[in-house]
Structure 1
Amino acid sequence: MNSRRANVPVRSALETCFPSAMLSTVGTHESWRKEVHRPATSTHKWWAKRLGSVFRGIIVAATTEQGGDAAAAYSCATRLTGTVVLDPFAGSGVTGVEAIKLGATAICMDINPVATLVQRQALQPWDLAALYDAYARVERASHAEVDRVHRTEDGRTVLYYFWVATAVCPQCAVKVNLFDSTVYSKDAYPKRKPRAQLVCPECLDIQEGRFDFKAAICAAGHEFSQAGPVERSKATCRNGHSFKIVSALGDRPPEYEMYSKMVANARGEKSYEPITQWDRALYMECENLLEQLPDSAVLPRGSLTSGNNTNQALKWNFREWRQFFNARQLYSLSIIATAIRDLDGLSAEREALCALFSGALEFNNLFASFKGEGTGAVRHMFSNHVLKPERTPLEAHPWGTPQSSGAFSTLLKSRIERAHNYKEAPIDLTVRHGNVARTAELSTSITAPLREDWMNLGTGGAYVVTRSAADTGLADACVDLVITDPPFMDNVHYAELADFFHSWLREMRPHADYPSDDTTRRAGEVQNADPAEFGKAIEAVWVECERLLKHGGLLAFTYHQARISGWARLIEALHRAGFVVTAIQPVKGEMTTSVVKAGASEPSNLDSIVVCRRAADGATSPHSSLDQAFEYACAQLGALRDAGVDVGKGDVRSVVRGTLLAHLAAEGVTLDDACQEVVDRLASQAVEALAEGQRPRAVEHTSTRVDGAADDRQLALFGG
């Protein structure tokens, strides 16, 4: 039996008196500007990035005695020297950063190399002088030429080119410009600033008008309204023929045509101007220059393979990652990427520039679009969690100017410099006198170099590696805490999306261990929409975590799941791996205004913190009955609601389901369909009661038989 004692109390505040309301308040504040409040983990895109303030709270509460003031420990300079914290699904590195800031040792693992690259930027220090020197060398090698191919005939800088996809009507062979609206630019607050830019969908003539115009006539005499030829997945040609856009594409991606550009003059003033023959000739020159690049030039490699997140792009005939860029984008980006790749050595500073370049790709491709004026101009390609083709893409200046959005030069300041300053002097959010405040007094700096191996982990620092969490290669009983945010059972497959970045990074080799494989997809990935496959994969990780935890160690992770089958498979996997759930604490999760969440039928605002102990250490369910577990979950949700935290129907279902299923598993009940049906009925009653402002109570009714491991066990049904 594991005899090494973890640096964790026998019963922690995380399990008994977690400050959910306070952390939800702080987390809500952080969620609006994660890149400002937690910039170390915001140097590059990764999906489902959790809230640093919440994870600081989890770590601190896990090491605070039952009955202790976890809120006070969060808000003071707590130091966890000698505590080893593992995150087996490290993602953007949130757990690792918060552990290091608290003086602990961090082990960050992720099966995806792009995630590892993001974690490395979050945790390794940079020599800012060396970083600026490397940046200057890249600038000398690439800036002038990239700028030259984004110029007007009179030498002014073009910030953005506006493009539209085209299709040919299958019935009459008329070309159709695929606009769904003829207003191609307007202010973020159009009622305050009604001026807008309009485009004729027939001849692409542009003019200025109002965002709410009814009818307009272009210079060629075409009359048009706000509605473009496209509605949803169909387009209508000028002869009145309606057709499905995908069907009209044949076996090639759509062709695109430039119709407008945004130009900046020497005084910084911006103007919308039509595309000229000069612009077209310059673009054709870029096509020729692209063909003349040497074989050694960095360009994206690899093909898309079928998957939930790639199928939409494949239907539009995007087969290779190279097709996600037009010729000028490929030429310009290749010049920058090649200059970075050719920097001497494999330094942390060169690696940071590789990550910076990769991050800029998100805003410089044919799947990016224009957000409008009064906001960041470029809508990045991952505003939806699928590779959604863009009918009206925006081509930005990839090196950029101070007026640009999402460019290599501007991201240096907003991402890399901001992250460097944060790592040297971290700022935390806390509650002071009833208000959320920023403070630099709570955390240590992130200045230790990354460890090359995991030996002697107790001396501090961070070990970051790309590896399956089911086979960590670590020694038995070497970890005090496992704190993570595992993939949930869903169709969003991060590796399918990360391959977009990998298609360039594999050619640049950011660090010595970065792989050159065709894809970042790996056998053993946990993310899966199939309940059985999800349960099997995550169980293997929990088995490994059980082996790694010291005696008395603690596993805690955030989770939300819209389907009860996802909760059931997760709890079953924990039970089979030798864990008992000792608490489920609801707390603020991701930002609720994301496009993906806003489209959900019951969007979630909360995560469940699932706290577990090893059964081998004597852990048991904290609830004496299902009734008590139900009332406990509802009380937790009610307390958050009473504190002013938004608690939605999806949140209630998820927390109640998780709490009840965890208790039943600890009691030996098989979480089969009959069991899930009973739990779902109780969750629905909790939703109804909380929606009416009531606190649900357990009321015994006719019992329902649940067959399985707990032979003849009866479950009481509850009334609201």
Structure 2
Amino acid sequence: MSDYPIKSPRKLIEVALPLDAINVACAREKSIRHGHPSTLHLWWARRPLAAARAVIFAQLVNDPGYQQGGGFKYGKNKKDAAIERKRLFKIIEELVLWENTTNEEVLERARAEIRRSWREVCELNKDHPQAAELFNPDKLPALHDPFAGGGAIPLEAQRLGLEAYASDLNPVAVLINKAMIEIPPKFAGRPPINPDWQRKSPQEKALYDWSGAKGLADDVRYYGAWMREEAQKRIGHLYPPVEITAEMAKERPDLKPLVGQKLTVIAWLWARTVKSPNPAFSHVDVPLASSFILSNKEGKEAYVCPVLEGDHYRFTVKTGPLPSEAASGTSAGKRKGFRCLMSDVPMDYDHIRTEGKAGRMGQKLMAIVAEGIRGRIYFSPTKEIETIAKTAIPTWKPDCEMPKKHRNYQPPVYGMNNLGDIFTARQLVALTTFSDLIGEVRERIRIDAHSNDFSNDEGLEKGGLGAAAYSEALSLYLAFCLDKMADLGNNLVRWEPIAQCPRQLFGRQAIPMIWDFAEANPFGNSSGSWDVFIEGFTKAFTKTFAAVQPWFKATVRQADAQTQAVSKGKFISSDPPYYDNIGYADLSDFFYVWLRRSLRSVFPELLATISVPKAEELIASTYRHGSTEKAEQFFLDGMTLAMKSLADKAHPEAPITIYYAFKQSETSEETGTVSAGWVTFLGAVLHAGLQLSGTWPLRTENASRMIGQGANALASSIVLVCRKRPADAPSISRREFIRELNGVLPDALDEMTKGSGDERSPVAPVDLSQAIIGPGMAVFSKYAAVLEADGSPMSVRTALQLINRFLAEDDFDADTQFCLHWFEQHGWTESVFGEADVLARSKSTSVDAMKDVGVLQSGSGKVRLLKWAEYPTDWDPRTDTRMPVWEALHHLIRALKQGGESASGALLAALGGKAEAVRQLAYRLYTLCERLGQAEDARAYNELITSWTGIETAANSLPKPTVPQGTLFES
């Protein structure tokens, strides 16, 4: 093979991306719920569809105008290449828009571009000895995601015209991927088979459009409704309505017009109880209520009011202005536990844990929420209603233990060790009833499908396309609705007083403990009800698979990424686990137990184990491996094997793209963008024989959750672009490595911070520390080893530190260098004059000179830097005889904050040759603030850079005639 190198043009993703457009689309997508495939079934840390689409497209499309090794030229001259790249960027910018997710015209343009690039590659390699095997111009290689998870990557590969392969060790992930990419094409374009459809006349049927997966969605709706009716017959007595009596109206005059009516309950609100620690009330089960507020909505406030009566208490519901004490319930404050309602004696968490482990933790009904004509109506609990709830007797419950001594699993600390313990008896009865009905409805669907021109053939797992397969497919989607019910139908569901509805358990990647919870009514019409799940599912399903075609191809398998053979000859894009961030296997046990109960006969091999496989899961789990060191080694060894498998098996023509996410907390002052997880993961990639040809920071969080909140300020994921390192790659010394970094990184940084005109926007400061890793690690990873002075290979951690150190270099004027170093030590706070004087002398400037300039305040033996808001609004750079870059930068920020891009553009136009230095200083200060955890300051510098293009446009649009001094620069 070495005598016949493959001719592989550089791909677009190895050169440039319209990062701003992708990031905007990703952030927007995070706020979309209706119609998003993520609403089909919960999965943790999904990648946005927009990111997956853009990455796959850019990974497979040739970049114009580049020469690659092997003695061939591809593309055009630099000017033509820029025009062509701009055209490709336009395709990506349209492709990532949420509105175009299923836009067939946009998708087909992207598919055509991928096919064109592939044919060009085939032509270049037509004389290769393996051309027949590797380069068939009429058939694109498939794309494989070996860590398929929530299915975003294989779904988007399929939409872009590629045959998609998805594999995962986790059976819940496998089922999600089957539901996303394997099943919809099998039945695309078919009408529904339910009796409602069959009863329609030919004339009526002719009016319907059953393109995409609309027929499947309609059948989910119909058979879901049938299940609801059947469940109502069997267990409806456990969920009675609230009947408004005259007695209730005496206490609540607002209920008088409703006397005699029966209202559907939305939820029952409970508080956990433990025995009082006060001996005088040790027989009383006192409540653990974090809040008594039921509704915060203005004009419709409602709250629970406890009433003490001798040696017992009861709850009553009141409406009107909220008393201040309602907000805290019986809580004694954060980390302090609770207080006894009867005696006000403190109840710390040790007491509560002891009670829970002894089996003495109970629950008491606090309030009932019903649906009125004009909104929610809250009622005081009654003994009858509480008794009905306790008459439920489940015949089955999950038998799966949660991790103990794990920070993300709090219930075991209070004696709730098993997943079955986090459901009330009534919730278990409801869930098992609907689970049983999934089996019953599957047979009903099979009969209806067989009578509606479906053949009666093999099931899904044997490749069937007839009645049996169709009934199994629908039962999988109905089981997903059951999982939604479980997520909102357990005793760890919060009541949200603003939205006035239950909130699901999995608000984050954990199973936390809560003290007062909402028990939703599965037969209601609000959050937690079966009807809402079915309606939401069918809407999302219809939207997600609107463009699915029968010719879409997909294969989904359960496989361990370390040993799987699926990747052979395929393009690879994947989103592996992030070190120790998320324990997917432990979390997905919650859903697995219900899926297994409902679908084991459909997927007997996939659902054979009692719980989700965990021993081989590639995460660094300290509790599983016994120590941090053993967990890290397990992750490194396993991920290296998985990455080596990809490197060896992937189609050699295109790079491999790998997502990695890490948090703000993983950046340290000493090392920059370095963390145990990041270093270990990157080490696995490089040890596997891959080299980096690019890193791209993708912002996958809402803009409001970025640096403005002081958390998760870094882009939430990085895309690593990798190719296999040549087997004969040489080694170099540390000195040679640093010399090469010094030659590569200045140009790379300049390109990143300047952008490339219309081709590429500048990388925002928030992303710069990650983006610079790409060209830096490209140098490091192309060598077999970088050797230290003692001959040992340089570690990945050291290489990252050297790369990050490059961002700390500066070459500014003396005043600016003083301000930089002072700011790093003291920020905006004041310190002693003597210290400032010594620093100023070392920078060849003086405190008095900088005071005169206007960048600092000095007096009474103290010195401090002035904030941008303290800078004068009448500053004119054309008359300023001593203008440090520091001063110019903060005036630009002041103008942007107070007058927008037009005001800062006017200043920029007058800065002349200092404009570039100002922009570089903004990057430098952002990096510094981000490292120091100064989110508010970092935001100001980030906003300036992200507005830079607009500011430049405003500067260039100014009229040439001179404007009278004193007016041009006023905000």
- So what's the TM-score if we normalise by structure 2? 0.60
Aligned to 1:472: 564
1:156 Cα deviation from its structure 2 partner: 3.0
Gaps in structure 2 of 5+ consecutive residues: 65-84, 95-105, 116-139, 185-212, 244-261, 444-467, 622-630, 667-673, 732-736, 787-793, 811-819, 825-885, 894-917, 925-971
1:147 Cα deviation from its structure 2 partner: 3.6
Aligned to 2:725: 615
- Aligned residue for 1:347, secondary structure, equals helix
Name the amino acid aligned to 1:470: Q
1:240 to 345, 363, 379: 345
Structure 2 residue 540 is the aligned partner of structure 1 residue 508? no
Gaps in structure 1 of 5+ consecutive residues: 216-223, 425-444, 449-458, 700-720
- Summarize the alignment of residues 8-407 of structure 1 with structure 2, pairs less than 5 Å apart: 10-33=9-32, 35-36=33-34, 39-67=36-64, 68=85, 69-74=87-92, 75=94, 76=106, 77-79=109-111, 80=114, 82-123=140-181, 124-125=183-184, 127-152=216-241, 154=243, 155-172=262-279, 173=282, 175-187=285-297, 193=299, 195-200=301-306, 203-209=313-319, 213-214=323-324, 226=328, 228-233=330-335, 234-237=337-340, 238-244=343-349, 245-252=352-359, 254-265=361-372, 267=373, 269-287=375-393, 290=394, 293=395, 299-306=397-404, 308=406, 311-342=409-440, 343-344=442-443, 345=468, 347-374=472-499, 377-401=501-525, 404-407=526-529
The structure showing larger relative contact order (alpha-carbon pairs under 8 Å, at least 6 residues apart) is 1
Structure 2 residue 806 is the aligned partner of structure 1 residue 695? no
1:423 Cα deviation from its structure 2 partner: 0.5
Name the amino acid aligned to 1:540: L
1:636 Cα deviation from its structure 2 partner: 3.4
Describe the shift of the 1:633–1:246 C-alpha distance in structure 2 as closer, same or farther (beyond 3 A).
farther
2:649 to 522, 538, 548: 548
Name the amino acid aligned to 2:548: I
Structure 2 residue 534 is the aligned partner of structure 1 residue 412? yes
- Aligned residue for 1:585, secondary structure, equals strand
Deviations 1:239-271 (A, max 9, x none): 433422334433337321111011125x47531
Indicate conservation of the 8 Å contact 1:579/1:612, yes or no: yes
CA distance in 1, matches of 2:153, 2:517: 36
Indicate conservation of the 8 Å contact 2:220/2:534, yes or no: no
Name the amino acid aligned to 1:240: V
Aligned to 2:548: 446
Indicate conservation of the 8 Å contact 2:749/2:772, yes or no: yes
Structure 2 residue 712 is the aligned partner of structure 1 residue 584? no
1:353 Cα deviation from its structure 2 partner: 0.5
1:542 Cα deviation from its structure 2 partner: 0.8
- Aligned residue for 2:410, secondary structure, equals helix
Indicate conservation of the 8 Å contact 1:48/1:590, yes or no: no
Aligned to 2:589: 499
- Aligned residue for 2:366, secondary structure, equals strand
CA distance in 2, matches of 1:62, 1:242: 58
CA distance in 1, matches of 2:221, 2:4: 46
CA distance in 1, matches of 2:141, 2:217: 30
Indicate conservation of the 8 Å contact 2:303/2:322, yes or no: no
Aligned to 1:422: 544
Name the amino acid aligned to 2:145: D
Indicate conservation of the 8 Å contact 1:164/1:258, yes or no: yes
CA distance in 1, matches of 2:659, 2:567: 25
Indicate conservation of the 8 Å contact 1:399/1:407, yes or no: yes
Describe the shift of the 1:351–1:322 C-alpha distance in structure 2 as closer, same or farther (beyond 3 A).
same
Describe the shift of the 1:135–1:314 C-alpha distance in structure 2 as closer, same or farther (beyond 3 A).
same
Structure 2 residue 780 is the aligned partner of structure 1 residue 664? yes
Indicate conservation of the 8 Å contact 2:697/2:770, yes or no: no
- Aligned residue for 2:516, secondary structure, equals coil
Indicate conservation of the 8 Å contact 1:110/1:468, yes or no: yes
Deviations 1:346-371 (A, max 9, x none): 52111111112112211110111112
1:468 Cα deviation from its structure 2 partner: 1.0
Name the amino acid aligned to 1:42: T
**Rg comparison, structure with higher value:** 2
CA distance in 2, matches of 1:314, 1:586: 38
Name the amino acid aligned to 1:471: T
Deviations 1:63-101 (A, max 9, x none): 222233432332342114624111111111101111111
Among all aligned residue pairs of Structure 1 and Structure 2, give the percentage whose two residues are the same amino acid: 17
Aligned to 1:570: 681
1:113 Cα deviation from its structure 2 partner: 0.8
Deviations 1:150-193 (A, max 9, x none): 22353432110001112234353364321233323323xxxx55
1:396 Cα deviation from its structure 2 partner: 0.3
Aligned residues: 636
1:302 Cα deviation from its structure 2 partner: 2.1
- Aligned residue for 2:391, secondary structure, equals helix
Name the amino acid aligned to 1:200: P
Name the amino acid aligned to 2:399: R
Name the amino acid aligned to 1:36: H
Describe the shift of the 1:636–1:259 C-alpha distance in structure 2 as closer, same or farther (beyond 3 A).
same
CA distance in 1, matches of 2:5, 2:52: 23
